[in-house]
Amino acid sequence: MPILPIDTRRYGTPEMLQIFEEENRLQRMLDVEAALAWAHAEVGGIPRKDAEKIVKTASIRHVKLSRVKEIEQEIKHDVTSLVRALAEACGSSGAYVHLGATSSDILDTATALQLKDSLTLLENRLDNLEKNLLSKAGRYKRAIMAGRTHGQHALPTTLGFKFAVWTREIARHIQRLRECKERILVGKMSGAVGTQAGLGSNALKIQQLVMEKLGIKPAEISTQIVQRDRHAELICLLAVIASTLDKIAIEIRELQRTEIDELAEPFQRAKQVGSSTMPHKRNPELCERVSGLAKVMRSLVIPALENIPTWHERDLTQSSAERFIIPEACILTDYMLNLMTNIIENLQVYEKRMRKNIELTKGRIMSEAVMIALTRKGMSRQEAHEHLRRLAIKSTMEKQSFRKVLLEDKTVRKKMSEREISKALNPRNYLGTAVKQVELVIKKTRRERKARGLVD
């Protein structure tokens, strides 16, 4: 009976959910058992015909999940239940199933196979999000808006600049993900405590053959389990990715506030309901969902780190935690990436409101530009700053435009003409290298995407 939101399909994409479904997990474990039998035959350890029988039978078509669970109900051991069900289906060839292996050889290697599929999907999601952010950065590189610090108007910036910043953050996550695959996607075939004693004189060769067959690398050395620093690194990375998505979501949520109204996440006007009681509501619920799930993702970091310590060569303290955190981390990160890509792709941008909001301070947002202009006219930076601070307060208290206050001030008029004041107060004249930086980001990111084999 479904209980958790992942089970009910409220959260999760079909592609990632399929990777962690119970039957797929069973199939991955059977894949490892098949590869082990094949490797034994390759080095002459078992008859080839028996290995071929095991390989042919190691499928959920022949080894049913229901049968494995039936056996486990009796013996209380998951891997042994799989081994017995497979051996049972193989007839006399079943005598060679699981030869020289220990449970963790099958479990940890199967996990690596699932993670291989998961990371491929996650990288594709990151690629797609990067593509959409890149597109928006180019489209809005000159769309002027108020930059904010401490929630207050600071200096003019552009919307494209925000998208460019997010683009590079996602680009770094792609780089991190690609780099960590080398450390994370490893399996093992080393037997109890890791010495490979049960695999015989060809043990290292068997391990190499198994991993080559499965398309992953063998751990350089392991105890009875693959060391959990590898998995912890992945969970930490996925939590960082989730936090970036949270950061983007928060910005969109803030800018969708009624009194700001510069951005809005997609909303299906025909049928979507914003509130059960207030018909006018249009809540940023998609972005809020991302922010909420990011909290869950960050919470998974602690058990992932706690899984690194173990008693001697192994214990089972990792197992129960991993059954939650590894599927959950991959499923939720994938879902959040897919959700954010849709948000960015269909984001509504209100440029007129952005320009209107810049005028809320009646020109005071340009005080630094005027200060810099005064220093170029010979006034010291400190003197200019203090003088303009007082004039900004006067503008605020008297509810006058900053331009009017500047034009009436003798100190300013000695240094600057009316034309120069107007020029300094034009937000478009004080964007610095913002547009150029966006263009450099676009160029760099496109170059990286081309190197990754992406043509867009």
List residues with catalytic annotation. 150, 275
Residue of 285, 247, 257 lying closest to 165 (CA atoms): 247
For 348, residues 6+ apart whose C-beta sits below 8 A from its C-beta are: 263, 264, 265, 266, 267
Biggest alpha carbon–alpha carbon distance for the chain:
103
Buried-exposed string 67-103: b where 16+ CB fall within 10 A, e elsewhere: bbeebbeeeeebbebbbbbbbebbeebbebbbbbbbb
**How many angstroms separate the Cα of 453 from the Cα of each of 124, 127, 449?**
12, 11, 6
Q: Which helix (H) or strand (E) holds 158?
A: strand 152-158
End-to-end CA distance of the chain: 44
Report whether 337 contacts 241 (CB < 8 A).
yes
HEC string for 29-94: HHHHHHHHHHHHHHCCCCCHHHHHHHHHHCCCCCCCHHHHHHHHHHHCCHHHHHHHHHHHHHHHHH
